[in-house]
């Protein structure tokens, strides 16, 4: 078992992840920084996930495997892997993503040397099911340098109004800061609310290298189209008839400011950012139509993947994976 001096906990929430699970575990176990515990929370998988996890846990004492008695949904499972960790630094790892062997070492160095940095992440480039780069400018060298702002309200605004998602939710984060938040809230795309609150709690620093490789898959979680599908995926115990997700985003942002803004000035500036986000009039017509029709937010990767694969002259079915096998939390931009 990992010692009480373990510095990093890596949380891998998984459900029916047999397609990429072994590859992801190998990637994490091959990190050049080895002082970590790898916690796997299995959401009552029905494929070979349990067998694969137990095999790896027997081989490497840094792995702790926990199987849930029932499928809790993605959000409770993502939160669970953090709740049962006790290391000072924490990182979520999706079952189908990859990272460079030096990722953890470089991220730990950033947090060790900069006590005011709450979370750090590298640049990212998306890959397909076979691990090859996506031939798409939006998918390569994704950076969040704007989140390195000095003022808490500026970091909050950078997350809130950013259009490149929140891949930095898979960065290395101080556990002390995470415990001050409600973690991922029970709706689709909650990572932006969490990262915005972390921006109020402390600084962000980017590692200026591409070390993180998230997969874009036609059957990934970011492509669930209806609000009902998204909510069932996210949290099986908190179902709502009308999915007004963006109103729940608003509530999440306002509560984050109330909890974590360091002073009245920063709170006021953060509220102004929320107003700017709220009055993005061009989005609201589509937002209301989606709500009335029962459509969800995001869900934009299906056509993107097909288009890219056609462009590269590959058969479409090379990208398709069994439904439920991909467990990232969201698409490019939910808001």
| Residue 72 included in any domain | no
Per-residue model confidence as pLDDT tens digits over 139-182: 899 999 999 999 999 999 999 999 889 999 999 999 999 999 99
Alpha-carbon span 263 to 257, nearest angstrom:
10
% of the chain at pLDDT higher than 70: 75
Number of domains, the chain = 1
- What is residue 217's predicted lDDT score, i.e. its pLDDT? 84
Nearest partner of 183 among 77, 297, 327, 66, judged by Cα: 77
DSSP codes of every residue in 70-129: S---HHHHHHHHHHT---SEEEE--TT-EE-TTHHHHHHHHHHH-TTEEEEEEEE--B-T
Domain that holds residue 166: 98-327
Confidence label for 285 from pLDDT (cuts 50, 70 and 90): low
Whether residue 240 is predicted with pLDDT greater than 60 in this model: the reply is no
- Over residues 224-251, mean pLDDT: 62
Alpha-carbon span 277 to 287, nearest angstrom:
13
| Residue 205 included in any domain | yes
- Over residues 222-251, mean pLDDT: 61
pTM: 0.84
- What is residue 307's predicted lDDT score, i.e. its pLDDT? 54
- Over residues 9-27, mean pLDDT: 97
| Residue 68 included in any domain | no
- What is residue 321's predicted lDDT score, i.e. its pLDDT? 41
Higher pLDDT, 286 or 95: 95
| Residue 53 included in any domain | no
Of 167-176, 259-268, 289-298, 319-328, which gets the smallest average pLDDT? 319-328
| Residue 24 included in any domain | no
Residue-averaged pLDDT of the chain:
85
Length of the chain counted residue by residue: 335
Nearest partner of 319 among 138, 167, 96, judged by Cα: 96
| Residue 162 included in any domain | yes
Higher pLDDT, 283 or 189: 189
- Over residues 274-283, mean pLDDT: 80
- What is residue 21's predicted lDDT score, i.e. its pLDDT? 98
Per-residue model confidence as pLDDT tens digits over 250-276: 999 999 999 999 999 999 999 999 999
| Residue 32 included in any domain | no
- Over residues 37-41, mean pLDDT: 99
| Residue 31 included in any domain | no
Alpha-carbon span 93 to 10, nearest angstrom:
7
Per-residue model confidence as pLDDT tens digits over 99-139: 999 999 999 999 999 999 999 999 999 999 999 999 888 88
């Amino acid at each position: 078992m990992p010692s009480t001096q373990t510095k990093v906990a890596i949380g891998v929430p998984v459900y029916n992840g047999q397609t990429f699970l072994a590859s992801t575990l190998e990637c994490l176990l091959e990190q050049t920084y080895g002082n970590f515990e790898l916690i796997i929370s299995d959401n009552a998988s029905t494929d070979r996930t349990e067998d694969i996890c137990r095999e790896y846990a027997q081989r490497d004492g840094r792995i702790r495997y926990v199987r849930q008695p029932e499928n809790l949904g993605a959000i409770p499972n993502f939160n669970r892997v953090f709740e049962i960790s006790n290391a000072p630094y924490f990182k979520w790892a999706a079952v189908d993503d990859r990272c460079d062997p030096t990722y953890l070492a470089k991220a730990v160095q950033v947090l060790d040397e900069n006590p005011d940095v709450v979370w750090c992440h590298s640049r990212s480039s998306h890959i397909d099911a076979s691990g090859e780069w996506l031939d798409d400018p939006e998918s390569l060298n994704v950076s969040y340098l704007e989140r390195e702002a000095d003022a808490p309200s500026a970091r909050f605004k950078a997350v809130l109004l950013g259009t490149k998602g929140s891949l930095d939710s898979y960065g290395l984060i101080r556990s002390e800061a995470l415990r001050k938040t409600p973690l991922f809230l029970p709706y689709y795309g909650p990572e932006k609310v969490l990262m915005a609150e972390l921006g109020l709690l402390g600084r962000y620093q980017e590692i200026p290298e591409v070390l993180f490789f998230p997969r874009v898959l036609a059957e990934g979680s970011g492509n669930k189209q209806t609000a009902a599908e998204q909510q069932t995926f996210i949290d099986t115990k908190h179902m709502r008839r009308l999915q007004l997700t963006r109103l729940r985003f608003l509530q999440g942002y306002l509560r984050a400011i109330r909890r974590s803004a360091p002073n009245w000035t920063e709170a006021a500036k953060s509220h102004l950012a929320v107003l700017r986000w709220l009055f993005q009039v061009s989005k609201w017509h589509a937002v209301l139509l989606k709500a009335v029709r029962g459509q969800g937010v995001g869900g934009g990767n299906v056509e993107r993947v097909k288009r890219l694969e056609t462009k590269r002259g590959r058969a479409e079915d090379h990208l398709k994976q069994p439904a439920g096998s991909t467990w990232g939390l969201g698409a490019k931009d939910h808001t």
